[in-house]
A and B are shown apart, each in its own frame.
Chain A
Amino acid sequence: MKTKSRLCEVIGETLVVRLPEELDHHTAGLIKEDTEELFLQKRIRNVIFDYQQTLFMDSSGIGLVMGRYREVRYLNGNVYIVGVQNKIARILEISGLYRVAIQAGNIEAALQDIQNRQEKNKVNEN
């Protein structure tokens, strides 16, 4: 079964979404379709949105992140925003997304944070 699309990749229980250069209603719709398929196929507990390539974003990008946040928060998962370029830093600030999403430098840092949280939870359970 294919688990890797052009923009999405599943690593363990984490979905990594590499956002396109321009994130608008049109491209957000395509990404949502991709993620929906993966959410059905796989157990996904965390989502990392990688903005490394993204130079434009409008409110459609907000809806995309909020929608995935709603899907993972029931599993006690998290949504990460990584690799934000200067150009879209302000719109992300105004959007209020940082109230629900965790900011990290890059994908590796987010994956590390996910692992740290899992280990902490294990310790708490014992």
Chain B
Amino acid sequence: MEHFNNQMVVEFDSVSKNESFARVVVAAFVARLNPTLEEIADIKTAVSEAVTNSIIHAYENKDGRIRIETHIVEDTVTVIVTDYGMGIDNIEKAMEPMYTSKPELERSGMGFAFMEAFMDELFVESEVGKGTTVTMRKVIRQEEGSSLEENN
């Protein structure tokens, strides 16, 4: 049974200045679960990776829109980052650590590896010419000894 259910959606332009906005807005939404500082840092990094990928790869720094949907169900956060850009031809290859299609832009091919390391689950769906959806899930174990939730 779900005792806690909530959703948040934001959509914004594909510009690098919005990367910090994206991570802060997701972190603020997740704060109600009382995550540890480390859990917050993990989510921020994962969101930053997905959004940066949309800006650099999906839209190649041209105009576009990025949508972030965040769900909280009980103690689990799901973050879904969607773009309507060029899509990924070979997802398996794209997700290999150190693989990058843009070495000339000083990318290191670590984005998906970090999303995988810092979240509990990661799914990537993509269609060439249509766009990409990255779904990430993390169970929040909550700060020890904090009773903020019970007071609400």
User: Residues on A close to B: CB < 8 A?
Assistant: 22, 24-26, 29, 32, 56-60, 62-64, 66-67, 87, 91, 94-95
User: Residues on B close to A: CB < 8 A?
Assistant: 16-17, 19-20, 23, 37, 41, 44-45, 48-49, 52, 55-56, 105-108, 110-111, 113-114, 117
In the complex, what distance in Å separates the CA atom of A64 from the CA atom of B52? 15
Would B16 and A59 count as touching, CB distance under 8 A?
Answer: no
| 18 CB-based A-B contacts, threshold 8 Å | A24-B19, A24-B20, A24-B48, A25-B48, A26-B17, A26-B19, A32-B106, A56-B45, A58-B111, A62-B110, A63-B105, A63-B107, A66-B106, A67-B106, A91-B45, A94-B113, A94-B114, A95-B110
Would A26 and B20 count as touching, CB distance under 8 A?
Answer: yes
Q: Using Cβ atoms and an 8 Å threshold, which residues of chain A touch B19? A: 24-26
With CB as the reference atom, state the residue of chain B lying closest to A63.
B106
List 7 tightest A-B contacts by C-beta distance, closest first: A63-B106, A26-B16, A58-B48, A59-B110, A62-B108, A67-B106, A25-B52
CB distance from B45 to the nearest CB of A (A): 5
CB distance from A87 to the nearest CB of B (A): 6
CB distance from A66 to the nearest CB of B (A): 6
Q: Using Cβ atoms and an 8 Å threshold, which residues of chain A touch B23? A: 56
Would A87 and B41 count as touching, CB distance under 8 A?
Answer: yes
In the complex, what distance in Å separates the CA atom of A101 from the CA atom of B64? 36
Given A26-B16, A26-B19, A63-B105, list of 6 further CB < 8 A pairs? A25-B55, A59-B110, A62-B108, A66-B108, A94-B113, A95-B110
With CB as the reference atom, state the residue of chain A lying closest to B113.
A94
Task: Known contacts A59-B49, A63-B108; decide if A87 and B16 are in contact (CB<8 Å).
Answer: no
Contact of B52 among A24, A32, A56, A94 (CB under 8 A): A24
In the complex, what distance in Å separates the CA atom of A63 from the CA atom of B56? 13
CB distance from A25 to the nearest CB of B (A): 5
Task: Known contacts A25-B56, A29-B16, A94-B117; decide if A59 and B108 are in contact (CB<8 Å).
Answer: yes
Most B CB within 10 A of own CB, among A25, A26, A67, A94? A25
Would B49 and A58 count as touching, CB distance under 8 A?
Answer: yes
Would A58 and B52 count as touching, CB distance under 8 A?
Answer: yes
